[in-house]
Structure 1
Amino acid sequence: MSTYILINKYLIFQAGIGISANTILLLFRVYTFLLDRSPKPTDLITGHLALIHIVMLLMVILLSPDLFESLNFQNDIKCKVFFYMRRAMRGLSIFTTCLLSVLQAITISPSSSWLATFKHKSKRFIFHILIFIWSLSLCFSRIIFYVVTSSNMTQSNLLILSKHCSLLAMNSIITSLSFILTIFRDVSFVGVMVLSSAYMVILLYKHQRRSKHLHSTSISPRTSPEKKATQTILLLVSFFVVMYGVDLIISSTSTLLWVYDPVVLGVQRLVVNVYATVSPFVLISSDKKIANALLNVLQKCR
C-alpha cells in the first residue's frame, strides 16, 4: 500500500510537470499560428498534440482520490466521463504522433518521390484530418458503458481501475472484440509511424553519404532545420513506440487475465503518461525561438 501511495504521489507530480511544459508549448504554437504569416503544418500538429496531452494529464489529477471525491456530481457519471476522456485522449495522442511522423516524411521527401505530390495538399487538409481523427477517437470508447463506481457492485464482478472506479465483467466475446479492435487500431497507426520513420532514416542516411561524397561539411540553411526537425520527430516516435510496447504488455495481461494489482496499475499509468510528459520538452528544446524566449524570461527573473 505504501508503494501504491508513493506511485500516486509521483503520478500527480509527473502530471503537474507535463501540464506546465505542454501549456508553454501550446501557447507558443498559438502565438506562432496567429502572428506568423506562414506557420508550418507541423506547428499546428505539435500544438494539437500539446492540447491533447494537457487534457490527458488533467485526467490523472482529477482521478486522484481527494479531488475525485470533492467534485459534486454522481460518482458513476464521473467515472464514465473521466475514463472516456482518458481513452479518447490516448487514441488522439497515437493518431497525432502518427500524423506528425507522416507529415515530416512528406516534407523532407525529394521532388522525384511520389510523396512530393502531397506536400502542398497536406497543408490544405491538415485541419480536416484533425477533425476526422477527433471523430474517430471519440467514437472508439464504447467500453465506458461498463465503467461503474466500485461501491455499487461486488468485488468479484469487477476489474478495479482506481480507488473509486471499476470495470464490469463483460461477455468474453465483447471483451475479445473490444481488445482486438483497439489493438488493431493502435498497432496500425504505430506501424505507419515505424514505416514513415524508417523512410526518414533512409533519406537522412542518403543525405549524409552524399555530403561525404562531395567532401562538404556544410549544409544549406534550408536543409539544416528540416534535418533537425526530422531527428526530433524520429526521437519522439522511437520513444512513443517503446512506451507503447511496455504499456501494451501490462494492459494486455491485466485485461485478458482479469487480474488487478494496484502497484502494477500505478506503474502502467506512469508508463502511459511518460510520453505526454516528455514530448513537450523534446519539442521545446528543438525549437530555437521557444528556447531563446524561455532563456530571456529566466534571465529577467534573476
Structure 2
Amino acid sequence: MVKKKGKISRFFDIRSTVFFEITIGIIANTVLLLFHILQFLFKHKPKPLDLTIAQLALIHLVMLVTMGFIATDTFGFQGWEDGLTCKVIIYMQKLMRALSICTTCLLSILQAITLSPRNSTLAKFKHKATYRYPCCLVCLWVFNMLLNGRFLVSIGATPNVTSHSLIFVTESCSQWPISYLFRYIFFSLANIQDISFIGLMAFSSGYMVSLLSRHKRQIQHLHSTSFSSKSSPEGRATQTILLLMGFFMLMYFLDCVTFSSRAILWNNDPISLCVHMLLGNGYATVCPFVLMRTEKRMIGCLTFWWKR
C-alpha cells in the first residue's frame, strides 16, 4: 500500500512538472516572438536568420499550446467529445513537431552560410538565401502539411465499444488503423525527413566548429596571446546555435528512446508517460532561453521592465 501511494505521489509530482514546463515554454516563446514582431515593424528587410528564429518561436508556441490540451485530456481533467477536436489538436501537434526539426536545421544552415568566408563555396548562397528563403519555407510547410495529413483521416474520438484495432493517443482520441502500404509510405517519408535534417544539422554544426577553431588559431597567431573571452557577435551567435543543435539532438534521441521503451516495456504506465511528455517538450521550452542569449537589446528591455 505504501509503495502504491509513493508511486501515485511521484505521478502527481511529475504531472505538475509537465504543466509547469509547458507554461514556462509558452511564456518564453511568446516573449521571443513578440520581440521579433516588433523588430520586423521597425526593420524594412528582416534577415533570413531573424525570420527563422521568429518562425521557430511561433512553431514552439503552437506546439506547446496543443501539448497543453493533450496533457489536459491525457490526465483526465477535460475530455473531447467530438472527433473534429481530436483531429485538429493531434494534427497541429504532429505538424509543429515536424516543422520544429526542419526549422532548427534551417537555422543551423543559415548560420553556417553567414559564418562562411568569402572564398568558400557556401558564400555563393549568402545573397541567394535572401530571395529563395521564402520559397523554401513555403515548400517545407506544404510538404509537412501533406505528410501529416494522415492524422486528419486516421484520428477520431474513442468509441464506447472496445476495439483491439485502435491505438489510444489520448484519453478521448484514438488512431484508426490504415492500410499497410500507406502506413509504410508515411513512416518511411517521416523517417527519411528526420534523418536527413539531423544529418544536415550535424554537418553544418561540424562546419561551424571547424571555422571557429580556425578563427581562434588565427587570432592566437596574430596577437601571440590566449584567445580573448570577448568574442564577436557572429561568434556568440554561432556558439548559441551550436549549443541549441547539441541540445536538440540530445532531446530527440532521449524522446525516441523513451517512446520505444514505452511501446516495448512500460506500456501505459502513467509515470513513463509523464517522463516522455517532459522530454518531448524539453527542446521547445529551453530553445527560446538559449536564443535570447544573443539578443542584447531584448535582455536590456526585459531588465528595464523588471526593475520597474
**TM-score relative to the length of structure 1:** 0.89
Match of 2:283 in 1: 275
How far the C-alpha of 1:58 sits from its partner, in A, is 0.3
Structure 2 vs 1, CA of residues 153 and 201 (structure 1 numbering), >3 Å: closer, same or farther? farther
The 2-side partners of 1:154 and 1:127 are apart by 47
Match of 1:79 in 2: 86
Structure 2 vs 1, CA of residues 97 and 35 (structure 1 numbering), >3 Å: closer, same or farther? same
Match of 1:138 in 2: 145
How far the C-alpha of 1:184 sits from its partner, in A, is 1.3
Aligned counterpart for 1:232 among listed residues 224, 227, 240: 240
Match of 1:30 in 2: 37
The 1-side partners of 2:263 and 2:199 are apart by 23
The 1-side partners of 2:184 and 2:261 are apart by 13
Provide the aligned C-alpha RMSD in A.
Answer: 2.4
Q: How does 1:21-170 map to 2 (within 5 A)?
A: 21-63=28-70, 64-65=72-73, 68-69=78-79, 74-144=81-151, 145-170=153-178
Kept in 2, the 8 Å contact 1:87–1:141? The answer is yes
Q: Render the CA deviation track for 1:125-169: whole Å, top value 9, x for unaligned.
A: 222222221111111114412223233442522322222222234
How far the C-alpha of 1:262 sits from its partner, in A, is 3.4
Kept in 2, the 8 Å contact 1:49–1:97? The answer is yes
The 1-side partners of 2:199 and 2:263 are apart by 23
Match of 1:13 in 2: 20
Q: How does 1:215-230 map to 2 (within 5 A)?
A: 215=223, 224-230=232-238
Match of 2:255 in 1: 247
Match of 2:194 in 1: 186
How far the C-alpha of 1:205 sits from its partner, in A, is 0.6
The amino acid that maps onto 1:238 is G
Q: Render the CA deviation track for 1:212-232: whole Å, top value 9, x for unaligned.
A: 11125677x9x7000100000
Structure 2 vs 1, CA of residues 235 and 39 (structure 1 numbering), >3 Å: closer, same or farther? same
Structure 2 vs 1, CA of residues 190 and 182 (structure 1 numbering), >3 Å: closer, same or farther? same
Three-state SS of the structure 1 residue aligned to 2:159 is: helix
Kept in 2, the 8 Å contact 1:159–1:259? The answer is no
Three-state SS of the structure 2 residue aligned to 1:157 is: coil
Structure 2 vs 1, CA of residues 8 and 175 (structure 1 numbering), >3 Å: closer, same or farther? farther
Match of 1:200 in 2: 208
Kept in 1, the 8 Å contact 2:147–2:186? The answer is no
Three-state SS of the structure 2 residue aligned to 1:156 is: coil
Kept in 1, the 8 Å contact 2:25–2:285? The answer is yes
Three-state SS of the structure 2 residue aligned to 1:163 is: coil
Which shifted more, 263-272 or 16-25?
263-272
Which shifted more, 233-242 or 124-133?
124-133
Q: How does 1:259-298 map to 2 (within 5 A)?
A: 259-298=267-306
How far the C-alpha of 1:252 sits from its partner, in A, is 4.2
The 2-side partners of 1:99 and 1:162 are apart by 32
Three-state SS of the structure 2 residue aligned to 1:263 is: helix
Kept in 2, the 8 Å contact 1:158–1:167? The answer is yes
How far the C-alpha of 1:99 sits from its partner, in A, is 0.4
Kept in 2, the 8 Å contact 1:105–1:197? The answer is yes
Three-state SS of the structure 2 residue aligned to 1:17 is: helix
Which shifted more, 168-177 or 261-270?
168-177
Structure 1 spans left out of the alignment, 5+ residues? none
The 1-side partners of 2:94 and 2:258 are apart by 16
Q: Render the CA deviation track for 1:89-146: whole Å, top value 9, x for unaligned.
A: 0011011000000000000001110100110111122222222211111111144122
Kept in 1, the 8 Å contact 2:105–2:201? The answer is yes
**TM-score relative to the length of structure 2:** 0.87
Structure 2 vs 1, CA of residues 184 and 239 (structure 1 numbering), >3 Å: closer, same or farther? same
Q: Render the CA deviation track for 1:180-215: whole Å, top value 9, x for unaligned.
A: 321111111111011000000000011111111112
The amino acid that maps onto 1:107 is T
Number of residue pairs aligned between Structure 1 and Structure 2: 295
The 2-side partners of 1:293 and 1:104 are apart by 25
The 1-side partners of 2:104 and 2:199 are apart by 12
Kept in 1, the 8 Å contact 2:113–2:122? The answer is yes
Q: Among the aligned pairs, what percent are the same residue?
A: 41
